[in-house]
Amino acid sequence: MIEVRRIRTQVEDIFHEFGPRAAAPQRRGVLAVVLGNPFAHRYEPDIQPMMDAMKPLGVELAQRLLEAMRVEPRRIESYGKGGIVGAGGESEHGHLWHVPGGYAMRTLLERHGVSTKAIVPSNTKVGVPGASIDLPLTHVNASYVRSHFDTIEVSVPGAPAADEIVFFLAMSTGARVHERVGGLRADEIQGVDGLR
């Protein structure tokens, strides 16, 4: 059921955006996996077996992304996920990733001492090969931390083909590089409800 065709890992360092140069760059990483879509070109009512089958893949890919980030796990402050379903599939197939992708990142980071009470935000769509998608990122422990609301535009050239799905995981070391619109601060987090 799980056929990995391609894996694409991207790590981006943002030093400034025409403001003062940050002491440490904001580092954002995205891992994309291109899978064959076993449900392409037909209506399959029972798609949850694929969700379960992808759990080990989610764990492996979360680990690979964290390693690609080349930072201490405790420096990961925000995360996100997403998917692009090829034209032979349906948008619901993109929603198979919430459990195996989201929980894999949270479990992995918790194991490294990072509290991850907050929901992993997500975007998913149907698209053509090379389609781009904007992945949301929010704080791992409190979604309302305003400095950490972020977006990263990603695409995989040539994917998804009609019978493929691309799933994404994203992590970031912190706030937007010139964040300055106030709101809940990271050091004000209560860390109980995953929101504030």
Partner 1 sequence: MPVEIRKLIVTVDETHREMGREVKPPTRRAAAVAVIANPCAGRYVEQLDELMAIGEALGGLLGTRCVEALGIAPDAAESYGKAAIVGERGELEHAAAILHPKLGAPLRKAVGKGAALVPSAKKIGGPGTAIDVPLGHKDAAFVRSHFDAIEVRVPDAPRADEIVVAVAVTDSGRPLARVGGLQKSEIEGKDGLR
Q: Which residues bind partner 1 (CB under 8 A)?
A: 3-18, 25, 36, 68, 130, 132, 153, 155, 157
Widest distance between CA atoms in the chain: 53
As measured in angstroms, the least distance from the Cβ of 155 to partner 1 is 7
47 vs 70: CA distance, rounded Å = 35
As measured in angstroms, the least distance from the Cβ of 93 to partner 1 is 19
Identity of the residue, 142 or 161, whose beta carbon is nearer to partner 1 in the bound complex: 161
> How many other CB atoms are found less than 10 A from the CB of residue 195?
16
Identity of the residue, 4 or 192, whose beta carbon is nearer to partner 1 in the bound complex: 4
78 vs 30: CA distance, rounded Å = 12
As measured in angstroms, the least distance from the Cβ of 131 to partner 1 is 12
Identity of the residue, 32 or 96, whose beta carbon is nearer to partner 1 in the bound complex: 32
As measured in angstroms, the least distance from the Cβ of 47 to partner 1 is 21
73 vs 43: CA distance, rounded Å = 40
Identity of the residue, 7 or 24, whose beta carbon is nearer to partner 1 in the bound complex: 7
As measured in angstroms, the least distance from the Cβ of 40 to partner 1 is 14
Six token digits for residue 180: 């300055």
Identity of the residue, 65 or 76, whose beta carbon is nearer to partner 1 in the bound complex: 65
125 vs 117: CA distance, rounded Å = 26
Backbone angles phi, psi at 149, to 5 degrees: -65, 125
